[in-house]
Amino acid sequence: MLVDTFGRTATDLRVSLTDRCNLRCSYCMPPEGLDWLPKPELLTDDEVARLVGLAVRELGVTEVRYTGGEPLLRRGLPGIVARTTELAPRPQVSLTTNGIGLDRLAAPLAEAGLDRVNVSLDTLDRGTFERLAHRDRLDDVLKGLAAAQAAGLEPVKINAVLMRGVNDHEAVPLLRYCLDHGYRLRFIEQMPLDAQHGWTRKDMITADEILERLAAEFDLAPDDAHDRGSAPAESFAIGGGPETVGVIGSVTRPFCGVCDRVRLTADGQVRNCLFATEESNLRDAMRGGAADDELADRWRTAVRAKRAGHGIDDPSFLQPARPMSAIGG
C-alpha cells in the first residue's frame, strides 16, 4: 500500500499522458504556450501500462484518472484505457479533459471501458471563452459534452474555475445549464499552478463567494446523503435534491487531511502532492532495468514523504516549478 507518515493511504492515481494542450487557458499557461516535453522523455504506452498495472495490482490503487495537458491528444489513449480496464482487480477509470475532440472519441473510449469524464468548462459565453482560452472552441466543448453523455460516460462532470472580473458572474448560468442538461457541476477555487506564476489570492473567487452567488438563486443545503470521504468536493443539494452541486475549496477549505491521491507525470515522475516540490523518477529506473519490486519500493518511499498539507497559507510556501499542464490534474 502507498501510506504516508500521517496514515493517509493513496488509492487514487492521477496519470498525465501529455503536457501538451490545444487551449491556452490564462490560469494555466501563457498565450504562446510552453516548451513541451521532448517525445523521448515521455512514457510510452507500454511504460504507462506497466506502471499503472503495478499500482493497481501491488500498491492498492483502486481509481485511475487520466489527465494532461490534454489527454485526448494522446494517440494511444483508447488502447491505454482498454489495458487499464482489463486489470484485475479492475480499477475505476476516468478522464479529465477540455472536451475538444470528445465528440469523436467518446464512443471509442466508452467501448474501451472508460467509466466517466470530467470536462473543464468555465464559461458559456463565446467571447469570454476566447478571452480565457485564446481559442474559439466553445462549440467543440459543448459537442464533446453531449457525445460523452450519449456514450454513457456518466455522470458527466463539469469543472469550472471562476475568476474575478472575468467570469465570476456566470456561477448561476453555469449551474442552470448543467441542471438543464443533466451534467454535474463542480466549482474549483483557482490554485497557484499557472506557468506565469501570476496567481494572487485577491483575484481568486473563494468557496464562500461561490456559495453566496449560488444561494441568491438556489436553495442549497449540505448534501447529508453524500458521504464525502476523501472526495475533494463539498456537495450541496439543490432544492432538496436529488440534484447537487460541488464546491472544491482547495485553497480556503483544504482537504489535505484526507487526501488519497498520488500523481504520475507524463515523463514518469511520482508526485505525492499537487504542490510537491520534489519528485521520484520511475522512468529512468524502469528504463535502466529495474524490476517491479524496486519500482514499487521507490513509489512507496515517495508517498511516505508526503507533507501534512500544501501550505499555501504558510509564508514559506513556494509554488511548484511545474505548472498544472506538466503535473497533471
Three-state SS sequence of 158-209? EEECCECCCCHHHHHHHHHHHHHHCCEEEEECCCCCCCCCCCCHHHECCHHH
Per-residue model confidence (pLDDT) at position 34: 81
Residues 297-305: what's their mean pLDDT?
97
Express each pLDDT in 79-131 by its tens digit: 999 999 999 999 999 999 999 999 999 999 999 999 999 999 999 999 999 99
Per-residue model confidence (pLDDT) at position 200: 76
In which band, very low, low, confident or very high, does the pLDDT at 249 lie, cut at 50, 70 and 90? confident
In whole angstroms, what is the distance from residue 115 CA to residue 82 CA?
A: 11
Per-residue model confidence (pLDDT) at position 207: 94
Per-residue pLDDT at 149 exceeds 70: yes
Q: Are strands 280-281 and 234-238 parallel, antiparallel or unpaired?
A: unpaired
Residues 242-269: what's their mean pLDDT?
92
In whole angstroms, what is the distance from residue 190 CA to residue 172 CA?
A: 18
CA 150 → CA 89, 102, 145, distances in Å? 27, 11, 9
Query: How does DSSP classify residue 234?
Result: E
Q: How deeply is 40 buried, as exposed, middle or buried, from its count of CB atoms within 10 A (0-12, 13-18, 19+)?
A: exposed
Per-residue pLDDT at 206 exceeds 80: yes
In which band, very low, low, confident or very high, does the pLDDT at 314 lie, cut at 50, 70 and 90? low
CA 169 → CA 27, 125, 212, 321, distances in Å? 17, 11, 12, 31
Q: How many residues does the chain have?
A: 329
What are the DSSP calls for 54-70, one per residue? Answer: HHHHHS---EEEEESS-
CB 109, CB 77: distance < 8 Å: yes
Side-chain-side CA neighbours of 163 within 13 Å: the count stands at: 19
In whole angstroms, what is the distance from residue 268 CA to residue 282 CA?
A: 6
Per-residue model confidence (pLDDT) at position 225: 57
Q: Grid coordinates in use for 86?
A: 482489463
In which band, very low, low, confident or very high, does the pLDDT at 204 lie, cut at 50, 70 and 90? confident
Q: Helical H runs in the chain?
A: 45-58, 77-85, 102-112, 126-133, 138-150, 171-181, 207-215, 282-287, 292-304, 324-327
Per-residue pLDDT at 199 exceeds 90: no
**Shortest CA distance to 122 belongs to which of 213, 208, 186, 192?**
186
Rg over CA atoms, the chain: 19
CB 194, CB 314: distance < 8 Å: no
Identify whether 173 is preceded by a cis peptide bond (ω within 30 of 0).
no
Residue 220 bridge partners (DSSP):
238
Query: How does DSSP classify residue 226?
Result: -
Per-residue pLDDT at 315 exceeds 60: no
